[in-house]
Amino acid sequence: MGEVIAEAWFEAEGEDSTLVLRVPRDRLQTADMSRRLTLEHLLKAAAVSNDEVESWRLADVSHSDDSELSHPLPPPPTDATHLTVYVHLKPQAQAPADDESAEQEIPPEKWQALEVCWKTILGLEASIDTSRLGMDGLRAELETAFKRSMTVEEKLNALQGDVAQWNKAKSRVHHALPKVREFIHRATWALAVPERKRMEDIYKSHIEPRNPLPQVDRVREQLEHLQKDRQVLFAQGNAVYQECRAILAEIQRAVSMLQRNAADNARRKRDAKSQKGKHF
């Protein structure tokens, strides 16, 4: 549901790549075995398949048995607040060189199509990052609107119908926040997935300088897949943003109505009290 379960980042050294996972202690402390966190869960969240794992290290102990990936992770040492796991990934296999394909002249329009596709991906990623920043602010607005409580004056004079409408509007925040967190999570990880890194390397090494590129059609297919993935993520972000803005507007309308009617009710009470005093 977009909830943060661990910190993660890639560390590259030459051809080797290591995924570092840092899991808070409270994420590993549960009596329910079916809900215990495994390394396989974390790899899936990081878009890394089990087949890409060469080995991993917990403290000073290394492991390489794939069957252990589904075992529950142990708690960190008593003096530590987090468990850190170092996952060493297999070197990316280079596509077998096809001499005939490499030497074959690639038409200019194919180079141009590859370049346009990559630049479209970069534009989408920039838009996604902008949406992520806006969504982070939107999350804070939703949380503030949900936590707002009535003043003493409003409690004394608000109409029950207005209070019910306001609470109903606020209840929608519960359903919206997980969507916001999920988008922020996916947008944050979008630039870190291995597939994206490979495409960036191919662009810098082959497409931009127009160096021979084996399996050019396969590369174009991968770029188009990455572009489609970015388009879907961007569309999801827009949909969630519009939904949350509508929820905030609904809450604001409910609050304004409550405040206006509460003020009118308070004025009527004062007027009635004043008229009663005149009769005395």
Q: Report how many domains make up the chain.
A: 2
pLDDT in tens, 131-150: 999 999 999 999 999 999 99
Q: What residues contact residue 148 under an 8 Å CB cut-off, 6+ apart?
A: 255
Under-70 pLDDT residues of the chain:
1-4, 12-16, 30-35, 92-104, 276-280
Query: Per the domain annotation, does 101 fall within a domain?
Result: no
Residue 104 has a pLDDT of 56
- SS3 category, 272: helix
Cα gap 80→78, rounded to integer Å? 6
Do residues 191 and 233 both lie within one domain?
yes
Query: Per the domain annotation, does 98 fall within a domain?
Result: no
Residue 177, amino acid = L
Do residues 130 and 262 both lie within one domain?
yes
Range of the domain at 36: 7-89
pTM beyond 0.75, yes or no? no
pLDDT in tens, 6-50: 777 777 665 567 888 888 887 777 656 666 788 888 888 777 888
Do residues 150 and 186 both lie within one domain?
yes
Residue 39: CB atoms within 10 Å = 22
Query: Per the domain annotation, does 28 fall within a domain?
Result: yes
Do residues 219 and 269 both lie within one domain?
yes
Residue 14: CB atoms within 10 Å = 6
8 Å CB contact between 61 and 21: no
Do residues 124 and 58 both lie within one domain?
no
Do residues 117 and 80 both lie within one domain?
no
Residue 53 has a pLDDT of 84
Domain ends where: 89, 123, 154?
Answer: 89
Helices (H) then strands (E): counts for the chain: 7, 5
